[in-house]
C-alpha cells in the first residue's frame, strides 16, 4: 500500500468506495472482499445507506479497526449544529465504531453557513468522535473558505477526478496548501475504460485499463483514489496497482486526453 501525507496525516492512497450499491448484502460482501484484499481506507456517507453494512463488515473482519481509515459524510439536511452532532452519533452507531477517521461536508449547502457546520465538526473532533475533518465537492474558493473557518485542518476535498474529468485548479491548490484531493469516480462511468489511449498504455504494461487509470491518479502529488465495485474480481483488480509505474511520457499521454496542461502546473506534477 502507498500512502499520501497531508497535514501530517498518512492516508492510504487507494481506498474503497461504497456508493451506488443496491442492498446491504451487496455492500457487506463488497466491503468484506475489499478488506480481505488489503484495502485499509473505506469511504461511506449518510446518504449512501451503506454505513451499517460497512460497520458489519468491519466487525466481522480480522482487520483491526485502528488499521482502517474510515470516512463518512454529512447528508445535505444535517448541516446545522444540532443535526451535525446527532447525525454523526447516529453514523457511529450504524458503523459500530467509537470514532471515524474523517468526517466530510458532503457538498456545499447555502441554507446553513459553513462556519456553523465546521464549528460543530470541530467540537466532535475535540470530543474524540471524529479524528479529522474535510469537505467534498467544494470549489477552490469554497475550500479556501473552509480552511479559514475551521480550527481543525481541512484534510481533504473529495471530488470527481479522472483522466477525462480533471481538476487542475483544485489540485494546484491542494498541492500548495497540503490538502489531500480524494478522487471519487476515478474510473469515470465506463468512458475511461473504453478510451483507446488508456487501453494502449494498459497493453504495454500487461494491465487492465482500470489499473492504468488508477495508477495515473496515484502518481500525482496529493491524490488518493476511492474506486467502487461490487464485483469481487474488479475489487481485487483495482487493488493490484502497486507493482508498476507509468513513465513520464505515459503520464503526459493520459493528461492529453483532457484540456492542455499549463506549463507551470505540469512542472509541479513532474511532467
48 classed as catalytic: yes
Please tell me which residue in 28, 39, 48, 161 is annotated as part of the active site: 48
199 three-class SS: helix
Q: What was the pLDDT predicted at 195?
A: 87
Of residues 10, 89, 1, the one with CA closest to residue 51: 89
Q: What was the pLDDT predicted at 35?
A: 98
Q: What length does the chain have?
A: 271
**Cα 22 to Cα 6: distance, rounded to the nearest angstrom:** 33
Q: Which domains are present in the chain?
A: 3-268 (3.20.20.100)
DSSP string, 35-73: HHHT--EEE--GGGT-HHHHHHHHHHSSS-GGGSEEEEE
**Cα 76 to Cα 59: distance, rounded to the nearest angstrom:** 28
- Measured CA to CA in angstroms, residue 107 lies from 21, 51, 248, 253 at distances of 20, 18, 34, 32
Count CB atoms within 10 A of the CB of residue 153: 17
**Cα 161 to Cα 111: distance, rounded to the nearest angstrom:** 27
- Cβ contact 51:87 at 8 Å: no
Count CB atoms within 10 A of the CB of residue 267: 10
State pTM to two decimals: 0.94
DSSP string, 68-132: SEEEEEE-TT--SHHHHHHHHHHHHHHHT-S-EEEEEE-S--TTS-HHHHHHHHHHHHHTTSEEE
Of residues 154, 152, 158, 156, the one with CA closest to residue 136: 158
Q: What was the pLDDT predicted at 69?
A: 98
Q: What was the pLDDT predicted at 266?
A: 66
**Mind listing the pLDDT tens digit of every residue in the chain (271 residues)?**
999 999 999 999 999 999 989 999 999 999 999 999 999 999 999 999 999 999 999 999 999 999 999 999 999 999 999 999 999 999 999 999 999 999 999 999 889 999 999 999 999 999 999 999 999 999 999 999 999 999 999 999 999 999 999 999 999 999 999 999 999 999 987 678 888 999 999 999 999 999 999 999 999 999 999 999 999 999 999 999 999 999 999 999 999 886 666 666 666 666 6
- Cβ contact 142:134 at 8 Å: no
Which cell goes with 231?
464485483
Count CB atoms within 10 A of the CB of residue 254: 24
Amino acid at each position: 500500500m502507498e500512502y499520501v501525507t497531508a497535514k501530517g496525516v498518512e492516508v492510504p492512497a487507494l481506498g474503497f468506495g461504497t456508493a451506488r450499491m443496491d442492498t446491504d448484502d451487496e455492500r457487506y460482501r463488497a466491503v468484506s472482499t475489499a478488506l480481505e484484499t488489503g484495502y485499509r481506507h473505506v469511504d461511506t456517507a449518510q446518504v449512501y445507506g451503506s454505513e451499517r453494512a460497512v460497520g458489519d463488515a468491519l466487525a466481522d473482519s480480522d482487520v483491526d479497526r485502528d488499521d482502517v481509515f474510515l470516512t463518512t459524510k454529512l447528508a445535505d439536511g444535517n448541516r446545522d449544529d444540532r443535526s451535525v452532532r446527532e447525525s454523526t452519533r447516529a453514523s457511529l452507531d450504524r458503523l459500530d465504531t467509537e470514532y471515524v477517521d474523517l468526517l466530510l461536508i458532503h457538498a456545499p449547502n447555502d441554507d446553513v453557513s459553513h462556519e456553523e457546520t465546521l464549528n460543530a465538526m470541530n467540537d466532535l473532533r475535540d470530543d474524540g468522535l471524529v479524528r479529522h475533518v474535510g469537505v467534498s465537492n467544494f470549489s477552490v474558493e469554497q475550500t479556501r473558505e473552509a480552511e479559514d473557518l475551521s480550527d481543525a485542518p481541512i484534510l481533504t476535498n473529495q471530488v470527481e477526478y479522472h483522466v477525462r474529468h480533471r481538476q487542475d485548479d483544485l489540485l494546484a491548490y491542494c498541492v500548495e496548501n497540503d490538502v489531500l484531493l480524494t478522487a471519487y469516480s476515478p474510473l469515470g462511468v465506463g468512458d475511461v475504460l473504453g478510451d483507446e489511449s488508456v487501453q494502449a498504455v494498459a497493453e504495454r504494461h500487461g494491465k487492465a485499463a482500470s489499473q492504468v487509470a488508477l495508477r495515473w491518479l496515484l502518481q500525482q502529488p496529493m491524490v488518493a483514489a476511492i474506486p467502487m465495485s461490487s464485483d469481487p474480481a474488479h475489487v481485487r483488480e483495482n487493488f493490484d496497482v502497486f507493482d508498476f509505474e507509468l513513465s513520464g511520457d505515459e503520464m503526459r499521454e493520459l493528461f492529453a486526453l483532457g484540456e492542455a496542461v499549463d506549463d507551470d502546473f505540469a512542472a509541479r506534477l513532474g511532467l
